[in-house]
Amino acid sequence: MSKKKDIPKFANDLIETHCHLDYLKELSTEEILKKCEDHNIKKIVTIAVDSGNLESVRNLASSFDQVFGTQGIHPHHANEYSETVEKEIRDHINDKHIVAVGEIGLDFYYNNSKKEEQIPAFEKQLQIAVDTNKPVVIHTREADEDTIAILKNFSKTLKGNGVIHSFTSSVSLAEFCLDEGFYLGFNGIITFKNAQNVRDVLAVTPIEQTLIETDSPFLTPVPFRGRENAPFYLPFVAEKIASEKEMNIEDVIKITKNNAINLFKL
């Protein structure tokens, strides 16, 4: 395990664009938000993934001024997608502090839901975003060709209104998404020794199309790997991006914050 160090604190405040607050177990939500405040993380987007946590995400977003949420079904749970679930998403997508349709997409690595379930669920939720003028939060893994084919049908009507979060796919998919105007989200993976492929994508991603996230409780960055991840570890992601891009850390924080504000209307 890497040697621990203090969580850095920077002058500019940060925005956590992707986490799962209702999945965190080590600390209460109030304790997490206090630690975030202590490290200048002023706004947090917590992400819905299945029919069982659509409501819990809404409750978190309505209970804390600094918390925002999404509504959507992750490809792992595409087999849960139904007219009833779609109605729930549509009924609440314009609630206060609900800022995007997500987490949606394709995952042919785990195939927790069948491909023939994932694709229509993805397409139907992209249509919700088009209909409601909301951005999308997209997950894609081992599904580059299908992701490109589907996004080609929607990206013009979405007007680049979205992020491919936790980007771990090919440079070619990254270049397609960037050309279409999407943001790419990076998290603690960029600190992992075996993640040069992700750093290669970061290198070709303009800072103006970069978002920072933790995806907590998953993907804890170095130097805290092995512990439950949390939004207050976000500064380590910003630090690594600044190092890789040879940029001033405060500039990275300021630009990625503005990116988040522009995308999610925070």
Answer whether residue 8 is part of any domain: no
Q: What is the mean pLDDT of residues 175-179?
A: 96
Enumerate residues 6+ apart whose C-beta is below 8 A from 179. Answer: none
Is the pLDDT score of 157 beyond 80?
A: yes
For residue 156, name the pLDDT band (cuts at 50, 70, 90): confident
The DSSP call for residue 39 is: T
Q: What percent of the chain has pLDDT over 90?
A: 97
Q: What is the mean pLDDT of residues 107-126?
A: 97
Report the alpha-carbon distance of residue 142 to residue 184 in Å, rounded: 16
Element containing residue 107 per DSSP (H, E): strand 98-107
For residue 37, name the pLDDT band (cuts at 50, 70, 90): very high
Answer whether residue 233 is part of any domain: yes
Q: What is the mean pLDDT of residues 209-225?
A: 97
Report the alpha-carbon distance of residue 80 to residue 86 in Å, rounded: 10
Given this model, what pLDDT does residue 159 score?
74
Answer whether residue 6 is part of any domain: no
Task: Label each residue of 40-99 as H, E or C.
Answer: CEEEEEECCCCCCCHHHHHHHHHHCCCEEEEECCCHHHHHHCCHHHHHHHHHHCCCCCEE
Q: What percent of the chain has pLDDT over 70?
A: 98
Residue-wise pLDDT tens digits, 96-109: 999 999 999 999 99
Given this model, what pLDDT does residue 4 score?
62
Answer whether residue 7 is part of any domain: no
Domain containing residue 98: 14-264
Given this model, what pLDDT does residue 1 score?
44
Name the domain count of the chain.
1
Answer whether residue 148 is part of any domain: yes
Is the pLDDT score of 201 beyond 50?
A: yes
Element containing residue 19 per DSSP (H, E): strand 14-19
Is the pLDDT score of 74 beyond 70?
A: yes
**What is the number of alpha carbons within 13 Å of residue 44 lying toward its C-beta?**
34
Answer whether residue 210 is part of any domain: yes
Element containing residue 186 per DSSP (H, E): strand 183-186
User: What average pLDDT does the structure give for the chain?
Assistant: 96
Residue-wise pLDDT tens digits, 128-143: 999 999 999 999 999 9
Answer whether residue 1 is part of any domain: no
Question: Cβ atoms within 10 A of the Cβ of 196, count?
Answer: 10
Structure tokens at 47: 């992400």
Is the pLDDT score of 166 beyond 90?
A: yes
Answer whether residue 106 is part of any domain: yes
Q: What is the mean pLDDT of residues 192-200?
A: 97
Residue 164 in contact with residue 195, Cβ under 8 Å? no
pTM of the predicted model, to two decimals?
0.97
- Rounded to a whole number of angstroms, the CA Rg of the chain reads 17
Residue-wise pLDDT tens digits, 224-260: 999 999 999 999 999 999 999 999 999 999 999 999 9
* C-alpha separations of 10 from 166, 240, 250 in Å: 23, 14, 7
- Higher-pLDDT residue of 218 and 155 is 218
Report the alpha-carbon distance of residue 138 to residue 153 in Å, rounded: 15
Q: Which residue reads 């304790």 in tokens?
A: 31
Given this model, what pLDDT does residue 252 score?
98
Q: What is the CATH number of the domain that holds 56?
A: 3.20.20.140
Is the pLDDT score of 2 beyond 50?
A: no
